Amino acid sequence: MLITIFAPNNVHLLEIAGVRDALFEANCKIANGQSYNVQLVTEDGFPAKSASGVRFLPDAGIADAFGPPDTLIVVGPYGLPQTPSEPVQRWLREQARQSRRFGSICTGAFVLADTGLLSGRSVTTHWEYADRLAAKFPEIQVQADRIFVRDGPVFSSAGVAAAIDLTFSLIEEDHGRALALWVARRLVVFLKRPGGQSQFSAALTVQTGASGPFDRIQLHILEYPRADLGVTALAALVGLNPRTLTRLFHSALGTSPAAYVELTRVDIARGLLEDSRSPIKSIAHAAGFGSSATLRRAFLRRIGVTPAEYRSRFRTSGSGAGDQDGNDVSLS
């Protein structure tokens, strides 16, 4: 099964290494079925330097690469890529149209978008460049907060390390969950973050959001998730009227106060699910959700999995699953 990775100039080395190492580990375990034959292709096939300064040797240039591939993967450079040359665009279109599936990692989405191959598709990219991708290519449906997106034969992933998540999903598609899980254990990483999981952490926006009243509001939400966090209460906290506060939230953070509160509460619940043995009912209370049912709905809406499923994937080695319906632990 031929996997072709195309790398532009100034590439993030981890995007190449993550994919190749995961596929290498899969090959070590495949007993029956097709193993992966991976080729790394650049425009000219000459030794190249990655963004971090590490030099690497591609397997071929576009003029002498094997093909057609089963899977074509376009990785991204540091920052925004330059528009690919006409020969590269033609070659990518030819390879993609003959492949079973194709897609991008990080800002590799810009490279594929320049070829027209992503028109009408849903894709994601690194959160820092999602708005620019959407503005430059309005015919593409950009899902800025996704770890990876699959739209028919087209796949795309968020920044850098999400390449590993994406590769696990391809291995699982080809050879089943058992092999993907074995590879994940070999690499000592989670099998996968849910495809719908947000790239963003609400808690991190305290460090990057607007200054002034937002500092106080965001800190208040983090410290008192069980308090009344309705827009009226938050507006009163900083001496604004609710309409003004809502407008400022949309301007500074691109979301409503209510949505931000829910994201923060989900963040708090995620941490507790990962690091504690507390039952889900107690975690729902500690994170400010009225019930475990409300917590479940928020997780499905924001992450795409239930709290129990999230815990089974991400709990730390000492946390355990806990009693999912009990109330013997009180969190504060």
pLDDT 10s digits, 212-247: 677 788 888 888 899 999 999 999 998 999 999 999
The amino acid sitting at 149 is V
CB 171 within 8 A of CB 38: no
Reported as type and span, the H/E element at residue 200 is none
Q: What is the per-residue pLDDT across 248-278, written as a single tens digit (0 to 9) for each?
A: 888 877 889 999 999 999 988 988 887 788 8
Give the percent of the chain with pLDDT over 90: 58
For the chain, give every domain's residue range: 2-187, 202-314
Q: Where residue 198 falls among pLDDT bands split at 50, 70, 90?
A: low
- Return phi, psi of residue 157, to 5°: -135, 165
> Which tokens go with 157?
């992933």
pLDDT score, position 330? 36
Domain 2-187 CATH superfamily: Class I glutamine amidotransferase (GATase) domain (3.40.50.880)
CA proximity to 182, closest of 58, 29, 287: 29
Just list the catalytic residues: 106
Report whether pLDDT(308) > 60: yes
pTM above 0.85, yes or no: no
CB 23 within 8 A of CB 180: no
Residue 24 to residue 70: CA distance in whole angstroms: 16
Residue 151, strand partner residues: 154
CA distance between the termini of the chain: 53
Q: What is the per-residue pLDDT across 49-82, written as a single tens digit (0 to 9) for each?
A: 999 999 999 999 999 999 899 999 999 999 888 9
Please enumerate, as own/partner, the contacts of 180-184 that have beta carbons within 8 Å and a separation of 24 or more.
180/26, 182/25, 182/29, 183/22, 183/25, 183/26, 183/29
pLDDT score, position 24? 95
120-124, 168-172, 240-244, 251-255: range with lowest mean pLDDT: 251-255
Q: What is the fold of 202-314?
A: Arc Repressor Mutant, subunit A (1.10.10)
* Residue 201 burial by Cβ neighbours in a 10 Å radius (0-12, 13-18, 19+): middle
Q: Do domains 2-187 and 202-314 have the same CATH topology?
A: no
Report whether pLDDT(313) > 80: no
Angle at 320 between CA 319 and CA 322, to 5 degrees: 115
